[in-house]
Amino acid sequence: MSQAVDKGSLLLPIVPAGESQEAPRTRRLPEWLKRPIPAGGGMGFTRDLVAELKLETVCESARCPNRSECWTARTATFMILGEVCTRPCGFCAVPRGKPEAVAEDEPDRLAEACARLGLKHVVITSVTRDDLPDGGADHFRRSVLAVRARTGATIEVLTPDFDGIPARIDRVLESRPDVFNHNLETVARLQQAVRRKSQYATSLSVLAHVKKAAPEIKTKSGLMLGLGESTEEVLETLADLRFAGCDFLTLGQYLQPSTRHLPVVRYLHPSEFDELGRMARALGFQEVASGPFVRSSYHAGEMARSADIEPASNTVTADRG
């Protein structure tokens, strides 16, 4: 990129025009998104543990394409606060409806699972709970503390927006997660279609508040690509994230969970992800994961360790993450 424009204090690269992409006419995936079906049996330990402890994972709920790989490696991303979400996002496979009561013993069950998996880096996410007075913030806090007490692992929270209310975000921060992740998901123009009841500015304010309130905690966000955004819009979004002080970034291909969800507008070639990753680093993100299969929690432990975030103790026995 030889040219750049100012956006605040950032230099925003200009992408060459004319990178043509094929719009999908069928639901057939391009070659780079096809994966061999793994030989059986590897996921069993993780699957049985999740079932035994009656936990939810976003791996299953969001129909993540990496589940075979992650679960075989005994890594999972746990979803607290139930399996029913109060927001109707157009991309997400998590069921929407009236959520159940919060399970008070969930933090202990979660900590038990993390200990038995031997996780060194734990990612905790949740459904959005607009029905709860604090949006579930205190349950996040309790979950982080329980996992830390039991495992000594580094901990990443991947939170809803808490309506941008600082007191709720601060409640989570009381538990001092190592990484605070909140996804912007898509560019400003597509927020209404993709996230419906969530706001671009609110999500940016969440990340900015964390960085202001607890500068030592790494902030992280992610985008799904292939929903109709232009490359220029992606770069504008990355600049906005950097302006909010966001440290880590994930970029991955959006995949339609079912025909009831938003269609894929285009499949980005892996080389495009490489180029966007390079440009994101040029914009100042400390850590970037960019690729068709990248998700918020994909290899999250490697990203954390790459940024020199290490477990506080040696109470875990296996090297997972």
Q: Is 158 in the site for ligand SF4 (CB under 6 A)?
A: no
End-to-end CA distance of the chain: 34
The residue whose two tokens read 């232009």 is: 230
Contacts of 135 (CB under 8 A, 6+ apart): 128, 129, 160, 162, 163, 165, 168
From the list 12, 50, 59, 157, which residue makes contact with ligand SF4 (rule: CB under 6 A)? 59
Listed in sequence order, the DSSP H helices in 62-163 are: 67-72, 106-117, 137-151
Binning the chain into helix, strand and coil, the percentages to the nearest 5 are 35, 15, 50
> Which CB sits closer to ligand SF4, 12 or 62?
62
b vs e for 163-173, b when ≥16 Cβ sit within 10 Å of the residue's Cβ?
A: ebbeebbbbbb
Q: Is 279 in the site for ligand SF4 (CB under 6 A)?
A: no
> Which CB sits closer to ligand SF4, 33 or 165?
33
From the list 15, 43, 70, 144, which residue makes contact with ligand SF4 (rule: CB under 6 A)? 70
Q: Is 183 in the site for ligand SF4 (CB under 6 A)?
A: no
To the nearest whole angstrom, how small is the minimum distance from the Cβ of residue 69 to ligand SF4? 7
**DSSP label of 290:** E
Binding to ligand SF4, residues 71-90 (CB under 6 A) = 75-77
> Which CB sits closer to ligand SF4, 58 or 234?
58
What gap in Å lies between CA 114 and CA 77, rounded to an integer?
10
To the nearest whole angstrom, how small is the minimum distance from the Cβ of residue 20 to ligand SF4? 30
From the list 209, 210, 297, 320, which residue makes contact with ligand SF4 (rule: CB under 6 A)? 297
* Contact region with ligand SF4 (CB under 6 A), list: 38-46, 60-68, 143-151, 157-165: 60-68
> Which CB sits closer to ligand SF4, 156 or 240?
156
135 neighbors 160 (Cβ within 8 angstroms) = yes
From the list 209, 295, 303, 311, which residue makes contact with ligand SF4 (rule: CB under 6 A)? 295
Binding to ligand SF4, residues 92-131 (CB under 6 A) = none
Would you state the torsion angle of the CA atoms of residues 214, 102, 125, 46, taken in this order, to the nearest 10 degrees?
Answer: 130
Contacts of 24 (CB under 8 A, 6+ apart): 263, 264, 265, 266, 267
To the nearest whole angstrom, how small is the minimum distance from the Cβ of residue 60 to ligand SF4? 8
> Which CB sits closer to ligand SF4, 75 or 128?
75
CA distances from 110 to 57, 99, 126, 147 (A): 11, 19, 12, 7
Residues near ligand SF4, by CB under 6 A = 58-59, 64, 66-67, 70, 75-77, 295, 297-298
